[in-house]
Amino acid sequence: MKILVTGGLGFIGSHTVVELQNKGFEVVIIDDLSNSSEKVLDGIVAITGTKPTFEKFDLKEKSKVQDFFKRHSNIAGVIHFAASKAVGESVEKPLLYYENNIGTLVYLLQELSAMQKANFIFSSSCTVYGQADIMPITENAPVKEAESPYGNTKQMGEEIIRDTCKVVPALNAIALRYFNPMGAHPSAEIGELPIGVPQNLVPFITQAGVGLREQLSVFGGDYPTPDGTCIRDYIHVVDLAKAHVVALERLIGGNNSANYEVFNVGTGTGSSVLEAIKSFERVSGKKLNYKIVDRRPGDITTAYADTTKANTVLGWKAESTLDEAMKSAWDWEQKIRN
Known catalytic residues are 150
Site string for ligand UD1, 226-245 (x = CB under 6 A): ----x-x-------------
Contact status: 330 vs ligand UD1 (CB under 6 A): no
CB atoms within 10 A of CB 51: 12
The 3-class secondary structure across 182-200, one letter per residue, is ECCCCCCCCCCCCCCCCCC
- Give the whole-angstrom CA distance, residue 120 versus residue 244: 10
Q: Which is nearer to ligand UD1, 52 or 268 (CB)?
A: 268
- Give the whole-angstrom CA distance, residue 169 versus residue 116: 10
Residues 6+ apart with CB under 8 A from 78: 3, 4, 5, 6, 108, 112, 118, 119, 120, 121
Q: Which is nearer to ligand UD1, 27 or 303 (CB)?
A: 303
Contact status: 62 vs ligand UD1 (CB under 6 A): no
Contact status: 264 vs ligand UD1 (CB under 6 A): no
Q: Which is nearer to ligand UD1, 115 or 210 (CB)?
A: 210
Site string for ligand UD1, 292-321 (x = CB under 6 A): ----x-xx----------------------
- Give the whole-angstrom CA distance, residue 143 versus residue 196: 32
- Give the whole-angstrom CA distance, residue 242 versus residue 79: 12
Length of the chain: 338
Q: How would DSSP label each residue in 197-248?
A: S--SHHHHHHHHHTTSSS-EEEE-S-SSSTTSS-EE-EEEHHHHHHHHHHHH
Residue 187: what are its φ and ψ, rounded to 5°?
Answer: -75, -15
Contact status: 37 vs ligand UD1 (CB under 6 A): no
Q: Which is nearer to ligand UD1, 178 or 316 (CB)?
A: 178
The answer to whether residues 122 and 173 touch, using CB atoms and an 8 Å cutoff, is yes
Among the listed ranges 187-195, 199-207, 237-245, 250-258, the one in contact with ligand UD1 (CB under 6 A) is 199-207
Contact status: 217 vs ligand UD1 (CB under 6 A): yes
Among the listed ranges 161-169, 211-219, 254-262, 310-318, the one in contact with ligand UD1 (CB under 6 A) is 211-219
Alpha carbon 173 to chain centroid distance? 16
Contact status: 15 vs ligand UD1 (CB under 6 A): no
Minimum CB separation from ligand UD1 for residue 57, in Å? 25
Q: Which is nearer to ligand UD1, 172 or 271 (CB)?
A: 271
Contact status: 125 vs ligand UD1 (CB under 6 A): yes
Contact status: 87 vs ligand UD1 (CB under 6 A): yes
Interface residue list for ligand UD1 (CB under 6 A): 85, 87, 125, 127, 147, 151, 180, 199-201, 204, 216-219, 230, 232, 273, 296, 298-299
